[in-house]
Amino acid sequence: MTSQPNLEPSRSLPLYLTGEHACSYIPGLSARTLFVDPLRRVDTNLYGLLLERGFRRSGAHIYRPACSRCRRCVSLRIPVKEFAPNRSQRRTWQRNTHDLVRTSRPAVFDPEHYRLYEAYLQSRHPDGSMADDATPSSYFDFLVAPWGGETRFIELRAGGRLMAVAVTDLLPSALSAVYTFFDPDLSDRAPGTCAILSQIQEARRLGLEHLYLGYWIEDCRKMSYKDRYRPTEAWDGAAWRHLGRGESIPWRGERDPGNDA
């Protein structure tokens, strides 16, 4: 593990680079991760600045992929005022709105939420360590950061039944979609799509500019859906690029070996 003390976004912010490890998303590939010093005090402003530089959080840990020969992980955000749902997204919303109720709640432990989280992991990640190691404390530590900022649990109920929970960070100019889990028995109602559309609506209601979606990975089925929300903005390592419907991300895939970091 190598210290990188002089990297952006601030020369006084300690960043660390891991050694190579197995990629969590694409079998057979190795990865490296750049992360913020876990002992560094983080507030909402710093967290927002890091999001603007392509970082992401998992629990209290803020990180960004830093693979030398791969650029498959692309950070995406939606400019919510410009977003226009496609035909499939409109149909999904219309099919659900007759009994869908959205409630934004504080990030506190709720046994009903936790039962839904367990059911989701057992259905979507039955062979993974997340399902095997899930406890109330690990669940909360994974979703909520102890430092500044505000995390909301956006509940979606269908006919009174808890359908999904979208864990969402509230920042001065944006929302960040941290994690969504939903009832596997209601998957025919496309709860993941409903969650993102609800977060877009919430960002608009609050007068915010963006909804951060985290990393889009074309070769990873569980991440590929994020590219369906257009227009979108993609972080290319130096700036955000605006992409309309039908525009591809030109730099995705492997790096030029001659330009390795």
Task: Flag whether 253 is in a domain.
Answer: no
Same domain, 35 and 145: no
Q: What percent of the chain has pLDDT over 90?
A: 73
Q: How confident is the model at residue 251 (pLDDT cuts 50, 70, 90)?
A: low
Same domain as 16, residue 65: yes
Is residue 100 within 8 A of residue 154, CB to CB? The reply is no
Measure the CA–CA gap between 3 and 182, rounded to whole angstroms: 38
Q: Are residues 121 and 177 in the same domain?
A: yes
Residue 226 within a domain: no
Q: pLDDT tens for residues 99-158?
A: 999 999 999 999 999 999 999 999 987 676 665 678 999 999 999 998 756 999 999 999
Model pLDDT for residues 32-82, shown as the tens digit of each residue = 999 999 888 898 999 999 999 999 999 999 999 999 888 899 999 999 999
Q: What pLDDT is recorded for position 133?
A: 78
Stronger pLDDT, 257 or 111, i.e. the higher one: 111
**In this predicted model, what pLDDT tens digit does every residue of 164-210 receive, in sequence order?**
999 999 999 999 999 999 999 999 999 999 999 999 999 999 999 99
Last residue of a domain, one of 177, 208, 239: 208
CB 18 within 8 A of CB 8: no
Same domain for 93 and 165, yes or no, is: yes
Average pLDDT over all residues of the chain: 89
Q: Which of 208, 239, 256 finishes a domain?
A: 208
CA distances (Å), 90 to each of 46, 63, 94, 100, 154, in order? 36, 34, 6, 14, 20
Query: 47 and 122 in one domain?
Result: no
Is 219 part of any domain?
Answer: no
Percentage, residues of the chain above pLDDT 70: 88
Global confidence as pTM: 0.90
Domain for residue 239, yes or no?
no
Same-domain check for residues 33 and 105: no
Q: How many CB atoms lie within 10 A of CB 21?
A: 10
Same domain, 91 and 203: yes
Helix, strand, coil % (nearest 5) of the chain?
Answer: 30, 30, 40
Say yes or no: 29 and 120 in one domain. no
* Domain end call among 208, 231, 246: 208
In this structure, the answer to whether residues 103 and 158 fall within a common structural domain is yes
Spatial CB neighbours of 132, under 8 Å, sequence gap ≥ 6: none
The per-residue pLDDT for 152 is: 96
Q: Tell me whether residue 256 is in a domain.
A: no
What is the model's pLDDT at position 2? 40
* Residue ranges making up the domain that contains 198: 87-208
Burial of 14 from C-beta contacts in 10 A (0-12 / 13-18 / 19+): middle
Q: Tell me the C-alpha distance between 165 and 114, whole Å.
A: 10
Q: Does the residue 154 lie in any domain?
A: yes
What residue type is 122 in one-letter code?
Q
What is the domain-level CATH number for residue 126? 3.40.630.30
Residue 223 counted as domain residue: no
What is the separation, in whole angstroms, between the first and last Cα of the chain?
A: 16
Check whether residue 67 and residue 91 sit in a common domain. Answer: no
- Say yes or no: 189 and 105 in one domain: yes
Residue 120 belongs to some domain of the structure: yes
The confidence score (pLDDT) of residue 242 equals 95
Give the chain's domain count: 2
Q: Do residues 183 and 97 both lie within one domain?
A: yes
